[in-house]
Amino acid sequence: MSNTNTLQNKIQKEITELTRSINTIIDNFKQLKNPLQESKEKVPVATNQLDKISEQTEAATNHMLDLIEKMSIREDEVISGLRELRKLFPENNEKMTRLLDIIIDKVNLNANDAFTLMNALQFQDITSQQMNHAAALLEEIEVKLIKIQEVFGTATESDLAGAVSHQKKGRVYDPHADLYEKKTEQKDVDSLFNKVKTDS
Amino acid sequence: MSQTILVVDDSPTVVKFVSLSLKNQGFKILTASDGMEAIEKISNLSEADKVDLVITDLNMPNLDGYSLIEILRQNIKHKDIPIIILSSEDGDDDQERGLQVGANSYLVKPFKSSLLLQEVTKYLE
């Protein structure tokens, strides 16, 4: 009899512990609800901000490219003007010819620098693709958060459908876009293409 | 008569950058923001006008670069147009796939405009 009592006591104690644990887990889950909701609400804000940065840097970069194009046209005009001017001076006017050559060289240097600037502006496309990648990951996280909320009963199927439809359609990017850490050198790509052309 | 190059990329910055690099060299530039628009542009050209070279990105909405190249290579009228891929995808798989579908060259972004010009003049003398 006393053995049965002891076993009963043990089981009762275990059940009490189990109930307490379950209550703690439920409390913890309840506490998760608000942060989950807050996190879910922040995701679209973050993706919008990333998209806005992309749009603004794109507009600024294109404006700079427009200016570089105008500069380049003006530089060509200046150079051809200076060459015409040089023809007006007699061949033996070495001082003037040398001076005009120096000016033409300087204008050419400016034109080269403009091209270097133009090359550098490719950063916008690369960073924009990286931001698109980050935004796509955030959108995936938003959908997953809503799926967890569905389990808690704080989100419905239509919430999930809404989030999926909000995911920006046509978000296309190169996930490996990188300005500096190129795994492949251009000469390696060329040699691959040349090898295939030679083999075929 | 100047030769015509079709630049296909969904990034307006890249389109502008490439156009500017080549316009200075006297090429006529047509642009498209994806493969679908590129096909439309090429198809709508008159007999007198033709595209001499295509420069295309790979990852684009609607119709990507691989599909664009495949379509052009299957078309009797356009199958011989030289095609240069411009992409930030620098993995071996991407380059091999580019080759398989029929691209002539593959430039990895970011690239120097001088390198692009060098590549273009290989096909357009």
Q: What are the sequence ranges of the domains in chain B?
A: 4-120
CATH number listed for the domain at residues B4-120 = 3.40.50.2300
* B105 DSSP β-pair partners: B84
From chain A, which residues contact B within 8 Å (Cβ)?
58, 61-62, 65-66, 68-69, 72, 115, 118-119, 121-126, 128-129, 170, 172-174, 176-179, 182-184, 186, 189-190, 192-193, 196
Q: Check A119 against B112: CB less than 8 A apart.
A: yes
Q: Which residue has the higher pLDDT, A189 or B53?
A: B53
Question: What local confidence, expressed as pLDDT, does residue B120 receive?
Answer: 94
Q: Encode pLDDT of B61-111 as tens digits.
A: 889 999 999 999 998 888 899 999 998 877 778 888 888 899 999 998 888
Round the average pLDDT of chain B to a whole number and report it.
Answer: 90
Q: Check B90 against A196: CB less than 8 A apart.
A: no
Interface membership of B14 toward A (CB under 8 Å): yes
Interface membership of B31 toward A (CB under 8 Å): no
Q: With the CA atoms of B30, B35, B41 and B44 taken in that order, what torsion angle do they form, in degrees rounded to the nearest 10?
A: 160
Distance CA B122, CA B82 (A): 10
Question: What local confidence, expressed as pLDDT, does residue B125 receive?
Answer: 72
Question: What local confidence, expressed as pLDDT, does residue A93 receive?
Answer: 81
Query: Which segments of chain A have a pLDDT < 50?
Result: none
Q: With the CA atoms of B44, B50, B52 and B53 taken in that order, what torsion angle do they form, in degrees rounded to the nearest 10?
A: 0
Distance CA B101, CA B89 (A): 16
State yes or no: pLDDT of B37 exceeds 90: yes
Contact present, B75 and B102 (Cβ < 8 Å): no
Distance CA A174, CA A190 (A): 20
Out of B90, B104, B111, the one facing A176 most closely (by C-beta) is B90
Question: What local confidence, expressed as pLDDT, does residue B66 receive?
Answer: 93
Query: Which tokens is B89 given?
Result: 């995808």
Q: Check A184 against B108: CB less than 8 A apart.
A: yes
- Closest to A182 in 3D by CA, of A126, A124, A136, A125: A126
